[in-house]
Amino acid sequence: MERFLKKISSFSFLMNADEFKIFTRPGGDISKLLDQIPKEPTSRIVEKYQTALEINECMYDPIRKDALDQ
């Protein structure tokens, strides 16, 4: 567990996530606490991860990727 926490500590978007805070510092029934967190739209979750992991969608679209290479 300690190695796991050390490895993910370099990802601020994980460390600051409500789910992670509940997991690491529970103040009651974890399942109930997690159920109380408002659900984010999938598009917002994708956007968050793309930003945090520096994912450029153009690199996964062959046509757009070719245009970047020129």
Question: Per-residue pLDDT tens for 6-39?
Answer: 888 888 888 888 888 888 887 888 899 999 999 9
User: Domain of 31?
Assistant: 1-39
Q: Kindly state whether residues 1 and 33 are assigned to the same domain.
A: yes
What is the rounded distance in angstroms from the CA atom of residue 70 to the CA atom of residue 65? Answer: 9
- Rounded to the nearest integer, the mean pLDDT of the chain is 83
Alpha helices per DSSP H over 1-70: 2-8, 12-15, 18-24, 30-35, 42-52, 62-69
User: For residue 68, is pLDDT > 70?
Assistant: no
Q: Kindly state whether residues 46 and 67 are assigned to the same domain.
A: yes
What is the rounded distance in angstroms from the CA atom of residue 23 to the CA atom of residue 17? Answer: 10
Q: Kindly state whether residues 27 and 7 are assigned to the same domain.
A: yes
Q: Kindly state whether residues 31 and 47 are assigned to the same domain.
A: no
What is the rounded distance in angstroms from the CA atom of residue 20 to the CA atom of residue 5? Answer: 10
Does this model's pTM top 0.85? Answer: no
User: For residue 59, is pLDDT > 70?
Assistant: no
Q: Kindly state whether residues 46 and 23 are assigned to the same domain.
A: no
Q: Kindly state whether residues 33 and 54 are assigned to the same domain.
A: no
Quick one: what percent of the chain has pLDDT higher than 70?
A: 81
Per the structure, the count of domains in the chain is: 2
pLDDT at res. 35: 92
